[in-house]
A and B are shown apart, each in its own frame.
Chain A
Amino acid sequence: MSGFFGPLDSEGRVPPNQQTRVAAFLISAHGALARQFAFTLPLKLDTAWQTELNAQFYREAEIVSLLMRATAWVPDLALGYMVVSWETAWLPAPIEGIADRSLAGAIHLATLAHAVHAGIRPAALLPVNAKADDPFVMALRRIEFESGRLLQGQILFLKGPELMPLRDAVSAALEKRHAGVRKLWREALESVGITFTNDAER
């Protein structure tokens, strides 16, 4: 199931109000990930896997930077309260069945990142006639592509041997995160007239 941007203007550009709302949501989500990866990243790397943290931090920051510059921003009064609800949702929440606070923190970050990278597909919102060389269109394609790669870090950790004994708790936490992120994403899209249909062909 998928919805699409539109109606596009005569040159195939996405309406600025939709660009603004979608970019604000993505900046909130990827910005939160960038901040949380930044807090996790030590000044001096001690182990090899921390190189991935460094990569994740910079890719998230790149996504934020890209959207800031590629979006045709317009004033959006509703963003104030929406951003508050989004930012609240990215905060760590207790994970049932995992008492170790340090491990729970790592799982929180990985599940949030997995839900954002896997569950949000901004390029899939583009109709076939979207202007291919428009910066916003290109930005969304780039973000979706990079998300698929960033996701591998989360998959390796969440499916890894360290968490295998906690598989049920981790899976439940991840499904909950996915549902929460998906709900916010869908609400953000519907608030600018992007409706979801059963027929994704367009």
Chain B
Amino acid sequence: MPFLDHGSYRIRYELEGPAGAPTYVLVNGLTQYAELWAAYRDALVARHFRVATFDLLGQGGSDKPALFINQDDQVTALRLLIDELGDGPVFLSGISFGGLIALRYAIAHGKRLSGLVPMSCFAELSPQLLLIGNALRTGLILGGTGYLQDLLLPMNLSDQWLTPLLDKLDSVKRQGWLVNDVYALQNLMESFLDFQPLTPQLSSISVPTMILNGEFDFLTPRPLHETLRVEIPDSALVIIPKAYHAFTLERGALTADLLARFAENVLAGHWQGNKAVWIAPEDPGGELTPFPAGYDHLRAIPVQRVSA
């Protein structure tokens, strides 16, 4: 198991796939760990990509700074990993907290990227997200990692995914509970205490960017993704039907297919973001369809868009 050194801390990472191939770098969400990308590794390697996964500082097999974790340190860890990859094309994707770190990297080191895919992501803390984040942190403090998982599971996953697992949720939660420590998760959450919105810097992201947002994402709803779409010049927003915040867990095959198609389009010179809004297919390989013209993609009911 290879490690990168960042000061006195070590960052665990894994590389899979042919060395000369375009690389996808996948960044974990807050309570995740690198093994959760296993299906993506298989799917993307089969599509001739190299895949890099890692645990952020404070997660899984990486070191867990005891008192403070700065988001800049996470970006540095990501830079160290991408520096390991050589000169080939690099596509960067991250979910939720990992998407935020990917955005930060793209703002600071965007020239190194060929493409960016923020998923269930945000560039600023809306009042709702701020208050939910505070409540989740309180839940972690009062009830431990297990209680935080209890809050996140129904918030971020669909009934279809949860129904067959209702009588074995303990086993679903166990690995995340084992590899994550309360103090480290708390440090990750508290890295938002001095958070400044990234929105004013988003326009500096010049790489092709595909923004993925679950149709029913409660934690980071559509307006947070809309900020990314409006501000990032070469972007498109893709809505994943019937999906929640953690769609990377329950719609892995579809998401991996979208990631591969995005990178293939970019590499072939076919990508045109145009700040368009698309609806993803239900299944891998299906066609993306444009969001119906004239209708407001920020609404949950078919309301015609008010012209500016």
Q: Which of A1, A155, A167 contacts B183 (CB 8 A)?
A: A155
Bound CA span A144–B146, Å? 12
| Among A114, A145, A171, contact of B68 (Cβ-Cβ < 8 Å) | A171
| Chain B residue, CB-CB nearest to A176 | B66
Provide the bound-state CA to CA distance between A128 and B168, in Å.
12
Stretch of A74-82, A88-96, A146-154 contacting B (4+ beta carbons < 8 Å): A146-154
Which secondary structure dominates chain B's binding surface? helix
Q: How far is the CB of A111 from chain B (nearest CB, A)?
A: 9
Residues in chain B near residue A121, CB distance under 8 A? 181
Interface residues of A in 131-175 (CB under 8 A from B): 144-145, 148-149, 151-152, 155, 158-159, 167, 170-171, 174-175
A200 and B67 in contact (CB under 8 A), knowing A149-B141, A151-B183?
Answer: no
B182 in contact (CB, < 8 A): yes
A145 and B175 form a contact (CB under 8 A): no
Q: How far is the CB of B39 from chain A (nearest CB, A)?
A: 16
- The answer to whether B61 and A145 touch across the interface, beta carbons within 8 angstroms, is no
Q: Are B144 and A148 in contact (CB under 8 A)?
A: yes
- Measured CB to CB, the closest approach of chain A to B24, in angstroms, equals 23
A158 to B182, CA, bound (A): 16
Q: By the criterion CB–CB under 8 Å, are A174 and B66 in contact?
A: yes
Q: Which residues of A contact B1 (CB under 8 A)?
A: 198
Q: How far is the CA of A171 from the CA of B171 in the complex (A)?
A: 35
State A174–B183 Cα separation when bound (angstroms): 13
| Chain B minimum-CB-distance residue to A159 | B67
Count of A-B residue pairs with CB < 8 Å: 51
- Which residues of the partner chain B approach A171 to less than 8 Å between Cβ atoms? 65-68
Q: Within 8 Å CB of A118, what residues of B?
A: 66, 181-183
Among B142, B171, B186, contact of A155 (Cβ-Cβ < 8 Å): B186
Question: Which A residues lie within 8 Å of B65 (CB)?
Answer: 171, 175
Bound CA span A134–B181, Å: 24
* Residues 163-189 (chain B) with a chain A CB within 8 angstroms: 171, 174-175, 177-179, 181-183, 186
- With contact pairs A158-B67, A171-B67, A174-B67 given, residues A1 and B174 touching in the complex (Cβ less than 8 Å): no
A118-B182, A198-B61, A200-B178 are contacts. A152–B141 as well, Cβ < 8 Å? yes
Confirm or deny: B307 has a beta carbon within 8 angstroms of a beta carbon on chain A: no
Q: Is the CB of B61 within 8 A of A1?
A: yes
Task: Assess whether B8 is interfacial by the CB under 8 Å rule.
Answer: yes
Q: Which residues of B contact A175 (CB under 8 A)?
A: 8, 65-66
Task: Give the total of A residues in contact with B, Cβ under 8 Å.
Answer: 26
Question: In whole angstroms, how far apart are the Cα atoms of A114 and B178 in the complex?
Answer: 19
Q: Is the CB of B66 within 8 A of A178?
A: yes
The size bracket of the interface on B is 20 to 34
Cβ-based interface call for A72 (8 A): no
Contact with B along A106-139 (1 / 0, CB 8 A): 0000000011001001001000100000000000
Residues A53-98 near B (CB distance < 8 A)? none
Write out the residue numbers on chain A whose beta carbons fall within 8 Å of the beta carbon of B141.
148-149, 152
Mark each residue of chain B from 48 to 71: 1 if its CB lies under 8 Å from any CB of chain A, else 0: 000000000000010001111000
Question: In the assembled complex, how far is the CB of residue A186 from the closest CB belonging to chain B, in whole angstroms?
Answer: 15
Task: Indicate whether A148 sits within 8 Å of B182 (C-beta atoms), given known contacts A118-B66, A171-B66.
Answer: yes
Residues in A with CB closer than 8 Å to B174 are 128
Distance A200 CA – B179 CA, assembled complex (angstroms): 7
**B66 to chain A: which residues have CB within 8 Å?**
114-115, 118, 171, 174-175, 178
- Cα distance A2–B176 in the bound complex, in angstroms: 12
| Least Cβ–Cβ distance between B124 and chain A, in angstroms | 24
Cβ–Cβ contact B171 & A128, under 8 A: yes
Q: For residue B61, which residue of chain A has the nearest CB? A: A1
Chain A 161-202: CB-based contact to B (< 8 A → 1; otherwise 0): 000000100110011001000000000000000000010110
Query: Is B144 within 8 A of A145, CB to CB?
Result: yes
Residues of B within 8 A of A (CB): 1, 8, 61, 65-68, 141-142, 144, 171, 174-175, 177-179, 181-183, 186, 190
User: Which 9 A-B pairs rank lowest in CB-CB distance, beginning with the nearest?
Assistant: A118-B183, A148-B182, A174-B66, A200-B178, A148-B144, A178-B66, A171-B67, A175-B66, A174-B67
* Contacts A/B (CB < 8 Å), 21 sampled: A1-B61, A114-B66, A115-B66, A118-B66, A121-B181, A124-B177, A144-B144, A148-B141, A148-B144, A151-B183, A152-B141, A155-B67, A155-B183, A159-B68, A171-B65, A171-B68, A175-B65, A175-B66, A198-B1, A200-B175, A200-B178
Q: A2-B179, A144-B144 are in contact. List 15 more A-B contacts (CB 8 A).
A: A1-B61, A115-B66, A118-B66, A118-B181, A118-B182, A128-B171, A145-B144, A149-B142, A159-B68, A159-B190, A174-B67, A175-B8, A178-B66, A200-B178, A200-B179
